[in-house]
Chains A and B, each alone.
Chain A
Amino acid sequence: MKPDSLRVLIPALSFAVLLAAVFWLQPRAMSYLGLNLLFNLAVPIALATIAQMLVIAVNDLDLSIGTFVSFVACVTATFLNDSPVLGLAIFAAAIATYALVGVLIHLRELPSIVVSLGMSFVWGGLAVLILPAPGGSAPPWIRALMTAKPPLLPMAIVASLVIAAVAHLIVMRSSFGTALRGVGGNARSVERAGWSVLKLRAATYALAGLFGVLAGVSLVGLTTAADANIALRYTLLSIAGVILGGGEFTGGRVSAIGAVIGALTLTLASSFLTFLRLSPDWQIGAQGAILIVVLAIRLVLNRQERRG
């Protein structure tokens, strides 16, 4: 078996185990409505995870994605709703800023952790300026899109499949995606092959910014309102999602499909807990425990895979 397919298979198996556990606990979840409830919030998390995966693919880490998604959500609930042109212009500027951050990190050889840490304050500050108190309202079209009821499968699943397919095509199938992962693997040889690593890194960050924008817009479509802290936990969730999905921090070894599965696993984990009727004190702790169990399953599967 090719290593790339193996990278996806193991997260998919551990996801299936968790899903089976949920169905066993609550058989009624095995329906259109049940699945919709389980994966309701998966779409924005999956998009943010793809953004993080792109940055991780070039050996960087984005600690600002959570505040960035919050910022986008605030813009969506205000500017994009009131004057769509201005809203889109802000998004274009935000994506350009992301590209600029990539250029800065590359030219000055800065640690991405610290630059994105600084950017997280900037996005957070802008979000507070736009929406000092929770509020705003979702543009009707995104509300309609996110709550649509397609036949057979709930919107959250359909959207996740589309996200996984698009991201897979970009990262694994296009020449840009190959070069992008090459930057993470061996930047010098990519440079020698005639690519500009500077342009690649800028494009990667711009693309990450675009997925961040999509995450924020889709989040507001689900929540109908925004506040400056709405997506802060996405920073850690997206990193966990990439790793759960079989990605690695270095070497450009990532998987787009795996990342979406990782995001779905994390969403499922928190839904799972509401079914367990656990005391609220232990909700967060149980999420940590599930994360550990999923990683343990991955280890066991990994070992058997190697033996077999």
Chain B
Amino acid sequence: MTAFAARPWIWSWIAMAAVWGATVLFTGGASAAGVTHAALTFAAFSVMVGIGQMFVITLGPGNVDLSIPATMTLAGTLSLKAIDAWGGGTLVGLGVSLLVGLGVGIANFTLIRALRIPPIIATLSTSFIFQSTAIWANRGIRIKPPDALAGFSTDMTLGVPNVAWIALVLTVAAWVLLERTIFGRRVLAIGQNMRAARLAGVPVDGVRFATYILCALLASLAGFLLASFSGGAALNMGAEYLLTSIAVVVIGGSSVAGGNSNVPGIWGASLFMFLLVTMLNTYGLGAGVRLILTGLIIIAVIVAAGGRTRTR
């Protein structure tokens, strides 16, 4: 059991493998390649927002970014609009989406700091404003991404979807950032005890500021890629990522109370969440039953992985 205790992410990988097996066996193995490809593609978007949310949640109780869906929508809308208006292709889109992320991160943390309100409420308030800006910019017109960009986001390299490669690179970077840099150690220290961290000389505000910007940057990148992947930005494109981003962090074995996080679990949980829906679809169940089973299985996984003591 010590191996399990040291690797809280292992449960999400076990659950993911079980669901993958159940899906592939049901179709007699015929769907293995297709299911895996789809899972890698869609999990990639959850992984990107999940990493950002993980860093934020690591900061401690009350730290959650609820503006991720609105940020994705805003970045997706504005970046494709910019490409359409100015030309310049992928780089312009990427630049605009990252600028959106930077702006969102600054706005979020300024509000948290200036009004001294819980981040949940601050990011909820700003998300309304971002969503409105996206509605205003969108005007109901769906701008298609340029062919090169659409092609890149749907293509594969070496049998793995390009978006999954991007997510993989970001995952490795996030792992290094969390486990091997001073920044990561400081984020963990703040999550374990903000007061102690401050007394120990950690620049608490600076680290929190950087963390919210990091989260917003990842969300806007995910929004840009998702809009390119799905042939244009839609106003509700981020909606499902609100709960998904939180779920993948916690199912992945990171502590929801902060201060204790891990990166590999996010991949396991993201693949699990997608495969779960695929499995229930494969079994041909109705929407209602599918939702109920999704909920019960999420609870079952967290009960199986639970038993870790709450620190607060």
A59 to B311, CA, bound (A): 13
Cβ of A84 < 8 Å from any Cβ of B?
no
Cβ of A144 < 8 Å from any Cβ of B?
no
How far does the Cβ of A229 sit from chain B's closest Cβ, in whole Å?
Answer: 12
Residue of chain A at shortest CB distance from B127: A288
State whether A296 and B115 are in contact (beta carbons under 8 Å apart), knowing that A115-B299, A121-B298, A250-B312 are contacts in the complex. Answer: yes
What are 19 A-B interface contacts by the 8 Å CB criterion? A108-B303, A114-B302, A118-B297, A118-B302, A121-B295, A124-B291, A125-B287, A125-B294, A128-B291, A129-B289, A279-B136, A281-B132, A284-B132, A288-B125, A288-B127, A288-B132, A289-B129, A292-B115, A295-B125
Cβ of A282 < 8 Å from any Cβ of B?
yes
A249 to B61, CA, bound (A): 8
For residue A295, which residues in chain B have a CB less than 8 angstroms away from its CB? Answer: 115, 117, 121, 125
Total number of residue pairs linking A and B with CB closer than 8 Å:
144
A239 to B296, CA, bound (A): 24
Interface set, chain B 249-269, CB cutoff 8 A to A: 250-251, 255-257
State whether A114 and B251 are in contact (beta carbons under 8 Å apart), knowing that A126-B288, A288-B125 are contacts in the complex. Answer: yes
Give a binary string over A192-217; 1 marks a CB under 8 Å from any B CB, 0 the rest.
Answer: 00000000000000000000000000
Q: B295 contacts A240, CB within 8 Å?
A: no
Residue of chain A at shortest CB distance from B61: A250
Q: A291 contacts B121, CB within 8 Å?
A: yes
Contact of B243 among A63, A239, A287 (CB under 8 A): A63
Interface set, chain A 56-114, CB cutoff 8 A to B: 59, 63, 104, 108-111, 113-114
Q: A122 contacts B295, CB within 8 Å?
A: yes
Cβ of A286 < 8 Å from any Cβ of B?
yes
Q: A113 contacts B309, CB within 8 Å?
A: no
| Interface, chain A (partner B; CB < 8 A) | 59, 63, 104, 108-111, 113-115, 117-129, 132, 236, 239-240, 243, 248-250, 279, 281-289, 291-292, 295-296, 299
Contact of B128 among A108, A115, A119, A284 (CB under 8 A): A284
Cβ of B144 < 8 Å from any Cβ of A?
no
For residue B251, which residues in chain A have a CB less than 8 angstroms away from its CB? Answer: 114
Cβ of B111 < 8 Å from any Cβ of A?
yes
For residue A110, which residues in chain B have a CB less than 8 angstroms away from its CB? Answer: 302-303, 306
State whether A249 and B62 are in contact (beta carbons under 8 Å apart), knowing that A129-B288, A284-B135, A295-B121 are contacts in the complex. Answer: yes
Most chain A C-beta atoms within 10 Å of own C-beta, residue among B127, B293, B299: B299
Q: B132 contacts A114, CB within 8 Å?
A: no
Q: A285 contacts B133, CB within 8 Å?
A: yes
Most chain B C-beta atoms within 10 Å of own C-beta, residue among A114, A123, A240, A282: A114
Q: B309 contacts A109, CB within 8 Å?
A: yes
A287 to B86, CA, bound (A): 32
Residue of chain A at shortest CB distance from B308: A109
How far does the Cβ of B266 sit from chain A's closest Cβ, in whole Å?
Answer: 14
For residue A291, which residues in chain B have a CB less than 8 angstroms away from its CB? Answer: 121, 124-125, 128
Cβ of B290 < 8 Å from any Cβ of A?
yes
A111 to B299, CA, bound (A): 10
Residue of chain B at shortest CB distance from A61: B120
Residue of chain B at shortest CB distance from A104: B303
Cβ of B118 < 8 Å from any Cβ of A?
yes
| Interface, chain B (partner A; CB < 8 A) | 61-62, 66, 111, 115-118, 120-121, 124-129, 131-133, 135-136, 243, 246-247, 250-251, 255-257, 286-299, 302-303, 306-310, 312
Q: B291 contacts A243, CB within 8 Å?
A: no
How far does the Cβ of A301 sit from chain B's closest Cβ, in whole Å?
Answer: 12
Q: At the interface, is chain B mostly helix, strand, loop or mixed?
A: helix
Contact of B295 among A104, A119, A248 (CB under 8 A): A119
Residue of chain A at shortest CB distance from B296: A122
Residue of chain B at shortest CB distance from A101: B299
State whether A288 and B128 are in contact (beta carbons under 8 Å apart), knowing that A128-B288, A236-B66, A243-B117 are contacts in the complex. Answer: yes
A63 to B286, CA, bound (A): 24
Contact of A121 among B124, B125, B294 (CB under 8 A): B294
State whether A281 and B135 are in contact (beta carbons under 8 Å apart), knowing that A113-B250, A125-B289 are contacts in the complex. Answer: yes
Contact of B306 among A108, A122, A283, A299 (CB under 8 A): A108
How far does the Cβ of B274 sit from chain A's closest Cβ, in whole Å?
Answer: 15
For residue B293, which residues in chain A have a CB less than 8 angstroms away from its CB? Answer: 125
Most chain A C-beta atoms within 10 Å of own C-beta, residue among B111, B297, B303, B309: B303
State whether A292 and B111 are in contact (beta carbons under 8 Å apart), knowing that A117-B247, A282-B136, A285-B132 are contacts in the complex. Answer: yes
State whether A109 and B250 are in contact (beta carbons under 8 Å apart), knowing that A128-B287, A288-B126, A295-B117 are contacts in the complex. Answer: no
Q: A239 contacts B121, CB within 8 Å?
A: yes
For residue B117, which residues in chain A have a CB less than 8 angstroms away from its CB? Answer: 243, 295
Contact of B132 among A59, A282, A299 (CB under 8 A): A282
How far does the Cβ of A143 sit from chain B's closest Cβ, in whole Å?
Answer: 27
Q: B292 contacts A125, CB within 8 Å?
A: yes
How far does the Cβ of B183 sit from chain A's closest Cβ, in whole Å?
Answer: 25
A295 to B286, CA, bound (A): 43
A288 to B125, CA, bound (A): 4
For residue B127, which residues in chain A have a CB less than 8 angstroms away from its CB? Answer: 288
How far does the Cβ of A54 sit from chain B's closest Cβ, in whole Å?
Answer: 18
How far does the Cβ of B278 sit from chain A's closest Cβ, in whole Å?
Answer: 16
A129 to B247, CA, bound (A): 24
For residue B132, which residues in chain A have a CB less than 8 angstroms away from its CB? Answer: 281-286, 288
A77 to B118, CA, bound (A): 37
For residue B307, which residues in chain A have a CB less than 8 angstroms away from its CB? Answer: 108-109
